[in-house]
């Protein structure tokens, strides 16, 4: 069973996302070691750090090592499709928004030391 979830950056456009999904469907459906009837590629969620595409297919393999070879080949193919679609893979990230208080409360609470003479020192 081949079942990666690919997270693309939030700035991925709908056109890029559709191109990526169609490319992965084609890759899997045309691969000799993949059961083409089992292929499923779906945009499933807006994640915290990415837009997530769930990829699923059954793979015909002789043994575990053969499965890993096929999986590697498919993952390289998916990376190529990501690049062609112009929709880079997302990295875990967070955005921090800082708000400013425009009221006079902050400026009133802060002493104005610009009026001190040069001889005065802060201790």
Residue 91 — very low, low, confident or very high, per pLDDT cuts 50/70/90? confident
Q: What is the pLDDT of residues 47-84, one digit of tens each?
A: 998 999 999 999 999 999 999 999 999 999 999 999 99
| Sequence-distant (≥ 6) Cβ neighbours of residue 13 within 8 angstroms | 87
Position with higher pLDDT, 74 vs 87 = 74
Percent of the chain with pLDDT over 90: 70
Q: What is the pLDDT of residues 105-116, one digit of tens each?
A: 555 555 555 655
- Reply yes or no on whether the pLDDT at 121 is more than 80: no
């Amino acid at each position: 069973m081949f079942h990666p979830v690919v997270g693309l950056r939030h700035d991925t456009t709908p056109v890029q996302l559709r191109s990526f999904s169609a490319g992965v469907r084609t890759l899997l459906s045309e691969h000799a070691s993949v059961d083409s009837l089992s292929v499923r590629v779906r945009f499933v969620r807006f994640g915290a750090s990415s837009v997530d595409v769930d990829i699923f297919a059954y793979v015909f393999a002789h043994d575990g090592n053969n499965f890993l070879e096929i999986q590697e080949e498919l993952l390289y193919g998916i990376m190529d499709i990501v690049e062609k679609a112009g929709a880079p893979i997302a990295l875990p990230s967070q955005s921090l928004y800082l708000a400013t208080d425009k009221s006079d409360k902050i400026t009133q609470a802060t002493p104005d030391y610009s009026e001190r003479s040069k001889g005065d020192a802060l201790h």
